[in-house]
């Protein structure tokens, strides 16, 4: 197997898996679309990376962190809802991104190109995915408890500010890693679709969370293989595989089964 294909496979499996795992938490908190919006916030960072010749993933991460801070700031300074604040930051970032991303690289920034990941970048990405997985696993139970009752979580010694910070940091890392795989336009699907698919099939919280991880990893693997043998772009292929698995989960779901979360 060529080294670039092997790098693409490792990165796709790692990013897809951790994206699905985080997505199961985001869907439970009804924040799935936040990942999609923050993916667009990464576009100016990608553009600056391309212009000034540094790793676009670093630029994407910094701009996603900036976007999260601006959303938080708007929530503190104004009576706007979270969804409205995210929408403002999202459309502004998208407009700035379209202005500064060099035209030849614009399409790649929007839909990604995991086949261009070098072996060295692949190792860094896989290690970061492992760190994000451990971080999300650490806060998972606490975030679920906060979702049920903040008062009960405080009694258990869970800090709302600390856990929300770690949660938002996890989102920023997954989005910045995900833009390498599916681009800024489609990265939200890496967290939404695997979780939605697993929710149809999982019988308990553990099956739901790890099922999301498995669906995300398998979808990325199949999408990259589709690119290898058909030359279709990997990003859209990954999302279409995700959508197909979601459709199959609807067909296989028993009418009596309830939502796992």
In a domain, 17, yes or no: yes
In a domain, 27, yes or no: yes
In a domain, 186, yes or no: yes
Distances (CA, A) of 175 to 58, 190, 193, 216, 249: 11, 9, 15, 14, 25
Give which of 135, 30, 131, 140 is closest to 86, Cα–Cα: 30
Residue 224 maps to which CATH number? Answer: 1.10.3470.10
Angstrom distance (rounded) from CA 166 to CA 143: 10
Q: What is the DSSP-derived secondary structure letter of residue 232?
A: -
CB 260 within 8 A of CB 205: yes
Give me the domain span that covers residue 225: 3-252
In a domain, 130, yes or no: yes
In a domain, 55, yes or no: yes
Residues in Cβ contact with 21 at an 8 Å cutoff, skipping those fewer than 6 apart: 133, 136, 137, 209, 210, 212, 213, 216
pLDDT, residue 68, reads 82
DSSP string, 246-258: HHHHHHHS-TTPP
- List pLDDT tens digits, range 167-192: 888 888 888 888 888 877 788 888 88
In a domain, 257, yes or no: no
- List pLDDT tens digits, range 143-155: 888 888 888 888 8
In a domain, 142, yes or no: yes
pLDDT, residue 11, reads 93
pLDDT, residue 147, reads 82
The pLDDT tens digits along the chain (261 residues) read 566 788 899 999 999 999 999 999 888 776 666 666 777 888 888 888 888 888 787 888 888 888 888 887 887 788 887 678 878 888 898 889 888 888 777 777 777 778 878 888 889 999 999 999 999 999 999 988 888 888 888 888 888 878 888 888 888 888 888 888 887 778 888 888 999 999 888 788 889 999 999 999 999 999 999 998 888 888 899 999 999 999 999 887 765 544 445
pTM value is 0.84
Measured from the Cβ of residue 136, the count of other Cβ atoms closer than 10 Å reads 23
Give which of 170, 201, 204 is closest to 34, Cα–Cα: 170
For 52-73, b/e burial (b = at least 16 CB within 10 A) is eeeebbebbbbbbbbbbebbee
CB 114 within 8 A of CB 178: no
Give which of 89, 86, 96 is closest to 43, Cα–Cα: 96
In a domain, 259, yes or no: no
- In the chain the beta strands, taken as DSSP E runs, fall at none
Residue 128 has phi, psi (to 5 degrees) of -65, -40
> Domain total for the chain?
1
């Amino acid at each position: 197997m060529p080294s670039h294909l092997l790098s693409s496979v490792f990165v796709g499996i790692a990013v897809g898996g951790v994206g699905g795992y985080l997505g199961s938490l985001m869907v439970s908190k009804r924040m799935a679309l936040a990942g999609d919006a923050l993916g667009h916030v990464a576009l100016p960072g990608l553009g600056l990376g391309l212009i000034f010749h540094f790793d676009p993933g670093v630029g994407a991460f910094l701009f996603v962190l900036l976007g999260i801070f601006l959303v938080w700031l708007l929530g503190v300074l104004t009576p706007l809802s979270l969804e409205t604040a995210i929408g403002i930051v999202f459309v502004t970032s998208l407009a700035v991104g379209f202005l500064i991303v060099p035209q030849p690289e614009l399409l790649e920034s929007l839909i990604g190109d995991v086949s261009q990941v070098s072996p060295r970048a692949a190792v860094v990405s896989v290690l970061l995915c492992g760190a994000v997985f451990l971080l999300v696993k650490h806060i998972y139970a606490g975030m679920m408890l906060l979702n049920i009752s903040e008062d009960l979580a405080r009694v258990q010694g869970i800090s709302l500010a600390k856990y929300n910070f770690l949660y938002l940091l996890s989102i920023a890392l997954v989005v910045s890693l995900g833009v390498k795989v599916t681009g800024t336009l489609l990265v939200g699907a890496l967290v939404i679709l695997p979780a939605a698919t697993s929710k149809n099939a999982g019988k308990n919280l553990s099956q739901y969370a790890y099922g999301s991880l498995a669906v995300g990893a398998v979808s990325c693997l199949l999408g990259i293989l589709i690119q290898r043998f058909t030359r279709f772009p990997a990003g859209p292929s990954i999302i279409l595989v995700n959508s197909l698995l979601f459709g199959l989960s609807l067909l296989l779901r028993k009418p009596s089964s309830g939502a796992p979360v």
